[in-house]
A = this chain, B = another copy of it.
């Protein structure tokens, strides 16, 4: 079930990334590359940090075809996908919690410190979007106050504590995903935001 959610989330990430590329008038290759980086970049960076080889998409190259296919399919469907704002926000929230849980699992299997397990989940959930914004030459959206990384952290902590406490993996995955998903949706609905650090004085290091 986690696997099905994973594939759906990957495809949804690819489609929203393709829209971001389209807004910058990129060519079809750029669209595919932005989609791959967004959908697979977080897991790739996690695996490089943890020396966890082969990478997911090297072991399963059909993922690349899924991502590029979803991205290219977005081109003729752009107006439709754009109008489906809420379904995609929900799919994106699903992706965030699913990626986080998968990342935590990799960390747990690697036997790293609990802090690193949570970080592995957060990297998996959030780095793809950061890399997308860097390639599109924006200051990453995720730093602008949205409750996104926090959702990933909460999901990861619940999941890790559950596993650590001996709860069955499937059950705690569903609980952690449900809490994280609800928190993200609530943040979107009620416009909850992270506090910002606003500092204006001119000083360069």
Contacts and interface: CB of A to CB of B under 8 A. Distances in A.
A205 B89 contact: yes
Given A54-B51, A78-B197, A203 B19 contact: yes
Main secondary structure of the interface of A (DSSP, over half): helix
B53 A51 contact: yes
A28 B61 contact: no
A55 interface: yes
B194 A29 contact: yes
Interface string A168-205: 00000000000000000000000001111111110111
Nearest to A75: B197
A22 interface: yes
A57 B113 CA distance: 10
For this chain, the copies found in one complex come to 3
A138 interface: yes
Contact of A49 (B25, B58, B82, B195): B58
Contacts of A106: none
Interface of A: 16, 18-31, 33-34, 44, 48-51, 53-55, 57-58, 61-62, 64-65, 74-75, 78-79, 82, 85, 88-89, 92, 112-113, 115-116, 119, 129-130, 134-146, 148-150, 193-201, 203-205
15 contacts: A19-B199, A19-B203, A22-B199, A25-B144, A25-B196, A27-B143, A27-B195, A28-B195, A61-B115, A61-B116, A64-B119, A78-B197, A78-B199, A88-B205, A137-B138
